[in-house]
Amino acid sequence: MSHLSESESLLVFSDVHLGSDILDGAENKARRSATIDSDLAELLAHYRSTPPRGARWRIVIAGDFIDFIGMSIPAEATTRIALETPPNEEEREHGLGNAADHARLKLRRVAERHANVFCELAMFVADGHALTLVHGNHDIEFHWDDVKNDFREILFSLATANNTFLHRIHRESFFSRIEFNPWFYYRDGICYIEHGHQYDAFCATTHVMAPVSPLDPRRVARCFSDTFLRFVVRRTVGMKEYGHEHVGLFYYVGFGLKLGMLGMLQLVCHFTAAVVALFRLRRAYLSEAAAVLRAEHEQRILKLAEATRLGKDKLRALLSLQVAPISSSIRGILASVLLDRIALALLSAFTFVLLAALSAFHGHVFWGALGVLVTWSLLNRYLSSRREVDPAKVMTERAAHLARLFPAAFVVMGHTHVPTMSSAGSATYVNVGSWAEEDDAQTNYRAARTHLVIEVGDRGAEATFCTWEASGPRAFELPKSKAV
């Protein structure tokens, strides 16, 4: 919150998911759009050459810039970085995990795969501008200092390799313009920015400032979506990572039937292994190691409160807005994977069979069967209403609370991939959408390519919500129901 930061102009975007199609050992391979990287590189080049109203530009990436979770690299892969953390059984089966050295290997693969984006970022910083990366649930591996240092080193190497900057880059100054915020980015009166996954029970982590696993402190704790992506989605041909908030039990039954007998059996096995992993993680949070982790998290909160001068009470109030991970309770795990509704369906079917058997002796069981059907219907509807998969409503509701806690003109998040702008009390809530675009024979999912430009002038903070096109940025047209 220096004087310089108060005069910076902000360029905010989110959910780029670089590396999401590095799937060396996966059965289910998503194809990233060939144009998305060139469009993002052009956007960076455009704003680098466009004088800001403030002293300089600061890019704020609101999470999920690197898709560490989505990558699949076999554990036996050879690399320039020797693995100090031996792959465990799960990693030998599903690919490298989220230990620091595993994440460093993944980061280098991403930098090589998306060289044009990294080069433009490097030149952006070398030109004197700044870069802030807010951690999301897909790049929570930025928790590790070695991964942060590697990211800075990669950009510095690319910048110095460019003759334009060869004689005028100061290493320490370059590094100082790249910062990592594990939780949020805040400029008093201007903006509050975080990824938003802490308001999504399927993606939230228990300790946002200390997201390591109580099972093994060398690794990051896995959330529900991370677990199922590795155990189920990447191993099941045809299953998509996104869109599950719009489907229910009958969809998954139909999907399983299309896989055939062998495919259905494999899906059930992968599904079961994922559920077992979730229960194992839940038990770990009741252990002694979890108590040590809670103490570490508390210490980090106190240090952040002191460093930002926000105060521990305000940060604890912010923590209270977060939702509990779905894997923190038995009921949550059962509901998240529809086991409660499957159990209800099986119980109802068993009751029908029992009534059919009794009808041979009594002959008047119609009303009993009708009662079972009505009871199943009501309970199924109730269980369905309790299963909240889409976090957008919660994020929008929390935005108003955030604006009161952190006075700002704009509360900004990502995570849902759906660009939105709406009122949040005295502030404006903006979801900056995504740059994650898939393109294959079955799916043509076009990213919104949205970004937010925040300038500070005589009239206070002013924002322009834009989308990127071949001709440059243009105002993004929101649906009327979502417009401010």
What are the two backbone dihedrals, phi and then psi, of residue 436, each rounded to the nearest 5 degrees? -95, 110
Which of the 8 DSSP states describes residue 72?
Answer: B
CB 121 within 8 A of CB 44: yes
Nearest to 224 by CA among 250, 205, 243: 205
Tell me the mean pLDDT in the region 351-377: 64
Q: For residue 477, what pLDDT is reported? A: 82
Q: Identify the pLDDT of residue 107.
A: 96
- Segment 146-155 shows an average pLDDT of 97
Q: In the prediction, which pLDDT does 166 show?
A: 53
pLDDT higher than threshold 70 for residue 61? yes
Alpha carbons 434 and 293: distance in angstroms, whole number: 32
Alpha helices in 259-287, H assignment, sequence order: 260-284
**Rounded to 5 degrees, what are φ and ψ at 403?**
-65, -30
Digit-coded pLDDT (tens) for 203-228: 999 999 999 999 899 999 998 889 98
pLDDT at 232 over 50: yes
- And the tokens for 210? 């200390």
Residue 356 confidence (pLDDT): 64
pLDDT at res. 410: 96
Map tokens 């399983």 to a residue.
Answer: 256
What's the pLDDT at 383? 58
- CB-facing half-sphere around the CA of 414: CA atoms within 13 A: 33
User: Structure tokens of 171?
Assistant: 């290493």
**CA–CA dist 412, 5 (Å, integer):** 17
Whole-model pTM? 0.86
Decide: 207 and 281 in contact? Cβ < 8 Å: no
Q: Per residue in 430-467, pLDDT tens?
A: 999 999 887 654 555 678 899 999 998 767 788 999 99
- pLDDT, position 130: 96
C-alpha–C-alpha distance, residues 442 and 438, integer Å: 10
Q: For residues 4-21, give the mean pLDDT.
A: 88
pLDDT digits (tens, 9 = 90+) for 103-124: 999 999 999 999 999 999 999 9
The per-residue pLDDT for 483 is 43
- Burial label for 468, CB within 10 Å (0-12, 13-18, 19+), is buried
| Per-residue confidence (pLDDT) for residue 151, from 0 to 100 | 98
Task: Give the separation between CA 214 and CA 185, rounded to whole angstroms.
Answer: 27
Whole-angstrom distance, CA of residue 443 vs CA of residue 480: 27
CA distance 62 to 135: 7
Q: Are 394 and 196 in contact (CB under 8 A)?
A: no
Q: Smallest Cα–Cα separation from 126: which of 94, 160, 101, 154?
A: 160
